[in-house]
Structure formats: structure tokens, C-alpha cells
Amino acid sequence: MSGVFCSQTKSVGGLSRRSFLKRAGAALALPALVPASALGRDGAVAPSNRIVMAGVGLGGRGGGVLGSWVLPEKEIQFVAICDVWRKRREAIKSLVDRHYGNTDCQTYIDMREMFARGDIEAIYTATGDRWHAGVSIMAMRAGIDVYTEKPASMTVREGQAVVATARKTKRVYQAGMQRLSEPNFVVCNELVRLGRLGDVKTVYAHMAGGSMNLHRDWLPEEPLPPRDEVDWDAWLGPNPWRPYNHAYLPSGWHRDHDLYTGVIGEWGSHTFAQCQHAIGAENTSPVFYPYMKGPTPDGIKLRFANGVDMISEQRGWRGTCGVRYVGTEGWVSCADGYTRPEASKPSLLADYDKILADYYVRTGFTGQNHMRQFFNSVRSRTKTVANPVMMHRSMSTVHCANIAQWLGRDLTWDPVKEQFVNDSEADRLLSRAQREGWNII
């Protein structure tokens, strides 16, 4: 049959087959006209070198971070958004499509379907507190690296599960404790590590205003919307069932015991982490948690096994998420909005730039924003500053402090065994039952 085929001279577009093949061969010999962007020229990143990324539950905070920290990165290709709330997933798709000048961003209601695509390498998730650990675990099990907003766990057992999953899957993980990457806070922490403050026995963690009392009642039931508008079952996920009410969706879950880590979690997930990083307690948690009779966390004194006290304070800074470290040779303090940290004497900050530069050399971090540091780690497969263990140990501090308030008594914690000392009732609060069909850990 090959001889018959070769002898044929059918025309193709007015040319004999032989003439067509001759011209096609000549065309193939010429260099193809490929856009410079596809080759990584003119400052562009070739598609083969980009990190393919997606989002889960990107609302107000998530949309802001996406627009300022993710989409401007040339090596990132953001391809999909999953959100159980149609209003939010369509808003993110619109933002992404405007940025790229196309309509390619795909939308999903079920994150499991999105994770199963096979091309997603990293996700950014900014759901409410109840889903941070669950989304992270599901993504890592699917072979995907994770940047998650804080508070990054709802219980001690969730934190343990995140650590175990990251180790097993060898995924890169960064919790959104971004001040661990911000220069002012880095310098404060380095002053402690370098011994510039002398013997540091007291550190202060800022807590913005708010009551520790959490609601345990439900909002009034409303008619359940279609799944395409709101997938209420998925919104709740592993948490206890409750009837639908539209007010939960934007912010009504705040102050709810089943859905929120409370004012201690809201602020301690930042400031406890900063303090623990400064004093070298990334791999442990305080051993003593007092009960505070007042409604706010102002003045809670948590003690570490080495005798360092970490005290929560609602006042004393000109901004949020502040920390203050007090040693025998001086003190240093910082919060959002400070152009430079404050210190007991100018000499402590005289070599600010050198302290920062030395930190970057020592750690391998580049001085770029917290998300950029995550991308660098995705490339290099190196540990992030807000890695799973750092997240888990500082969030354990949050959870144990909350449990002391819920039970109304002082508690002693064993950070090695990760359980309370001789208190089975408190131990039962280290985990929460998960709703059937949503058992993630």
C-alpha cells in the first residue's frame, strides 16, 4: 500500500500533494515565530518555569493578598479558584481574568475536584478559621504546596495532623504569620537571639480589644439557597451541623465557638509566634496557663519551662500585632506602622541594616515579602519561616490558653507529650469531633 500511496498526486489547496509536502518541509526548516514571553525573554517567565497556583476561599483578606502578593509575580500562573460561595468565586475569577487579559481562570465549588486536576503545584487559602488545617491537609495529600492564612488550626490535634502530613508528603507549607518576614520584627527577634538585650525573661504579645467569650447558640434558620449559590454543607465541612443563615458567610462566624479561635487566636496566632521565634521556642509551648477572671485576655501570663514569661497586653503599642522584649540590658518594641522599632537606647538599633543583612545570609531568606519567601521555598524545597512546626507550637499556645479560660482554672502543659498534666477533662478539648462525611484527621 505504501507504493500506491506515494504514487498519488491528489491536490491540497490547489497544489499537488508532492508540491504541498515540499513547501511544508521548507516551512518546517524555518525558525518558528514564538512570542518572547513563551521563551522567558523580555523579563517574562517561560510557562514551563512558572508555578501553577490556585486559591481556596479567597474573600476580603484573600483577594487583597492575591492582588498584591500573588498576581504581580511573573513566575506565578494563577489558574483556578474554589469557593463554596458563588459571589466570592466569581469575584476572584474576575480579578484574575482582568489581570491576565483572558477568561481562563476556572471556578470550582468542590476543592477535591480542583486538586484532582493534576497541574496545580501550590495553593493559597484564606477561608475562615474552621477550614485552614483541613484545606492544608487535603492539598498536601494531593501533592500540593500550601500557603494558608492564620489562625492555621482549630485544635492541637489539627496542628499535629498538619505537621505529620507535611512530613509524610514532603510538601512546602507556610502559615500567614507574615510579620516573621517583616524587617522591623526580624530585627527585634535578632536582638534577642544575639544577646543584645541581655537575659530576656519577659516578652509581651499584643492583643487587640475583644472579649474571650464565644457564642454557642445558632443564628436563626433561613431558607437554604441552591448549592451553586452557597454549598452550605461544604462551608461547614467537618464542623458541627447548624442551619443556614446568610450572616455567617461574610463574618458572622466570628465569636462562634465552633467556627472561631477567639480573640486569643485572632491575635496570638501572630504575636505568640513572634515571641516564641524570638526566644527560641519554635519547637515548644508554655507550660503554665492561668485562668483570667475578666472577659479579655489582657494580662494573661504564660510561662515557659525556661522561666520566660509571655504576657498578653492590649495597650502599649501604636499599632496592631506588637511585641516587646525586655532583658537585663534593655528592651525593644515594635508593631505595625512603626518606621523602625523602639528601643531603650539608640545603640541597640545602630546597626539595624547589618543585623537584617546578616539574618538574610544566615537563613537564606531574601528580605522579600512572606508570600515571596514561600515561592522561593517552593522552588528550593527548603523550610519556610512559618513552617508546620512553628505554626503548630505557637497555635498550641493559643489553644491551651483558650482551654484554661473555657474550664475556668489554671492548667499545666507537658510540651513533650503534648497533653495537660493530670487533667483528662482538659485533654478532651485538644480535639473536636468531626462531622460524618468530612473526617479529615
Which of 324-352 are b and which e, b meaning 16 or more Cβ less than 10 Å from the residue's Cβ? bbbbeebbbbbbbebeebbbeeeebbeeb
Cα 378 from chain centroid (whole Å)? 14
User: CA gyration radius for the chain?
Assistant: 26
319 within domain boundaries? yes
User: Which tens digit of pLDDT belongs to each residue from 72-91?
Assistant: 999 999 999 999 999 999 99
172 and 185 within one domain? no
Q: Of 161, 178, 195, which one is at a domain's C-terminal end? A: 178
* Shared-domain flag, residues 60 and 72: yes
Residue 373's domain comprises 179-213+260-430
CA distance 52 to 66: 14
User: pLDDT band for position 366 (50/70/90)?
Assistant: confident
CA 47 centroid distance within chain:
25
Which stretch of 15-19, 227-231, 301-305, 374-378 has the lowest confidence by average pLDDT?
15-19
Are 172 and 270 part of one and the same domain? no
Residues 292 and 403 sit within 8 Å (Cβ to Cβ): no
Range with the poorest average pLDDT among 100-109, 268-277, 362-371: 362-371
Higher model confidence: residue 141 or residue 39? 141
Burial bucket for residue 215 (CB in 10 Å: 0-12, 13-18, 19+): middle
Query: In sequence order, what are the beta bridge partners of 256?
Result: 215
pLDDT tier at 43, thresholds 50, 70, 90: low
In this structure, is residue 24 part of a structural domain?
no
Three-state DSSP at 291 gives coil
Statement to judge: residues 128 and 273 lie in one domain: no
- Report the percent of the chain where pLDDT is more than 90: 86
Is the predicted pLDDT of residue 430 greater than 70, yes or no?
Answer: yes
| pLDDT for 42 beyond 80 | no
The residue among 334, 318, 321, 371 whose CA lies nearest residue 64 is: 371
Residues 170 and 269 in one domain: no
The number of folded domains in the chain is 2
Same domain for 319 and 406?
yes
Return the pLDDT at 317: 85
- The rounded distance, in Å, linking the Cα atoms of 276 and 344 is 21
Q: What is the mean pLDDT of the segment spanning 348-374?
A: 95
Per-residue confidence band for 173, with pLDDT thresholds at 50, 70 and 90 = very high
What value does the mean pLDDT take over residues 15-29? 39
Among the ranges given (32-36, 133-137, 276-280, 401-405), the one the predictor scored with the smallest mean pLDDT: 32-36
Which residue, 178, 196, 223, sits at the end of a domain? 178
Residue-level pLDDT at 47: 78
The CATH number for 322's domain is 3.30.360.10
Among 35-39, 94-98, 203-207, 263-267, the minimum mean pLDDT is found in 35-39
The pLDDT value given to residue 332:
98
Secondary structure tally for the chain: helices H, strands E: 14, 17
In a domain, 345, yes or no: yes
Question: Is 13 a domain residue?
Answer: no
Strand partners, 313: 206
- The verdict on 207 and 136 lying in the same domain is no
Q: Does 416 lie in the same domain as 298?
A: yes
Average pLDDT over residues 84-102: 98
The pLDDT score that the predictor gives to residue 171 is 98
In a domain, 219, yes or no: no
Does an H or E element contain 80, and which?
strand 76-82
The answer to whether residues 174 and 185 belong to one domain is no
Average pLDDT score over residue span 312-319: 90
Give the whole-number percent of the chain exceeding pLDDT 70: 90
Torsion of CA 220, 222, 225, 227, to 10 degrees: 40
On whether both 57 and 187 belong to a single domain, the answer is no
Where is the domain boundary, 155, 178, 201? Answer: 178
Residue 61 lies in a domain: yes
Is position 441 within any domain?
no
The one-letter code for the residue type at 122 is A
> Considering the domain boundaries, does residue 236 fall inside one?
no
Residues 59 and 186 in one domain: no
Output the average pLDDT for the chain.
91
- pLDDT score recorded for residue 65: 97
pLDDT at 44: 63
Segment 378-420, tens digit of pLDDT: 999 999 999 999 999 999 999 999 999 999 999 999 999 999 9
339 and 409 in a single domain? The answer is: yes
CATH of the domain at 168: 3.40.50.720
